[in-house]
Amino acid sequence: MSKNIVVAIDGYSSCGKSTLAKALAKKLHFIYVDSGAMYRAVTLFFIRNNISLNDSAAIEQALKDIHLNFHSRDYQTHITLNDEEVSEEIRQMHVSELVSEVSAIKAVRKEMVRQQQRMGKSKNIVMDGRDIGTTVFPFAEVKIFMTADPKIRAERRFKELKSKGEEISLEDIFDNLAHRDFLDTTRKESPLTRAKDAIVLDNTTLNEKQQLEFALERILPFIQ
Ligand code: DC
């Protein structure tokens, strides 16, 4: 009989976490949750409503007014913010530029973690983010910590945004990733760090198929 498990994937910005998580969810018939999309949607709400990041009362109220939902179609993330599909807009640079500041706010993290833990109750879930193996699911059966050369990461993200028609330079993307890595690893509230029991996956020279095989080899013993 197969066991119900949680797979937690953490790592730096743009190192292929969601690509791996989606492929795993598809293969294992698990639910996939992109926790970064939740922080991005909150950031979009803050931008649209001019919420000051220093105004804790406005932030508390905003968190009550924000309703996020995931709809899975072909294992692609479709997230709605108060019933509006925002999956494309949350990937744009105006959101990327502010999301690490927003996700460093304690009240924001507390609410997102609460929602993420609720989604993981029935297990058989793959969730990717920055604090999944350390804070959201410290007892996850499998934890993977992803990393890759920063230059390669910037090039991959550059190609992805270009293909969507976004006008952006490789240099700006590199700087944004470095900035987010810095904020994500140095913030006070659950910074990005490798859980002691996480397996490191450096995909600098691995393709999607190879990284999937690497992860499956570690996961299958838990569910067979
Ligand atoms: O995975 P991503 O690049 O879409 O995440 C966007 C930002 O959200 C990232 O810079 C840090 C934050 N984040 C977080 O703090 N905790 C998570 N579990 C997921 C994302």
Whether ligand 1 lies within 6 angstroms of the CB of 141 is answered as: no
CB 20 within 8 A of CB 117: no
Whether ligand 1 lies within 6 angstroms of the CB of 137 is answered as: no
Distance 2 CA to ligand 1 centre (A): 31
Pocket test for ligand 1, best of 35, 92, 183 (most atoms within 8 A of CB): 35
Nearest atom in ligand 1 to the alpha carbon of residue 37 is 4
What span, in angstroms and rounded, lies between the C-alpha atoms of 198 and 146? Answer: 9
- Cα–Cα–Cα angle for 121, 111, 127, nearest 5°? 45
Q: What is the pLDDT along the chain (224 residues), one digit of tens a residue?
A: 468 999 999 999 999 999 999 999 999 999 999 999 999 999 999 999 999 999 999 999 999 999 999 987 777 789 999 999 999 999 999 999 999 999 999 999 999 999 999 999 989 999 999 999 999 999 999 999 999 999 999 999 999 889 989 899 999 999 999 999 999 999 999 999 999 999 999 999 999 999 999 999 999 999 98
Provide the token pair at 88.
Answer: 């494309």
Sorted by where each begins, the domain ranges of the chain are 6-223
Whether ligand 1 lies within 6 angstroms of the CB of 103 is answered as: yes
Nearest atom in ligand 1 to the alpha carbon of residue 136 is 18
What is the CATH T-level fold of the domain 6-223, as seen in this structure?
Answer: Rossmann fold (3.40.50)
Q: Which amino acid belongs to residue 222?
A: F
Sign of CA dihedral 96, 180, 206, 37: negative
pLDDT of residue 2: 66
Distance 165 CA to ligand 1 centre (A): 23
What span, in angstroms and rounded, lies between the C-alpha atoms of 198 and 56? Answer: 34
Whether ligand 1 lies within 6 angstroms of the CB of 43 is answered as: no
Give the pairing of strands 142-147 and 199-202.
parallel
CB 195 within 8 A of CB 145: yes
What span, in angstroms and rounded, lies between the C-alpha atoms of 174 and 61? Answer: 34
pLDDT of residue 63: 98
Whether ligand 1 lies within 6 angstroms of the CB of 36 is answered as: yes
What span, in angstroms and rounded, lies between the C-alpha atoms of 129 and 34? Answer: 7
Predicted TM-score (pTM) of this structure: 0.94
Q: Which amino acid belongs to residue 125?
A: I
Residue 79, SS3?
A: strand
Nearest atom in ligand 1 to the alpha carbon of residue 183 is 10
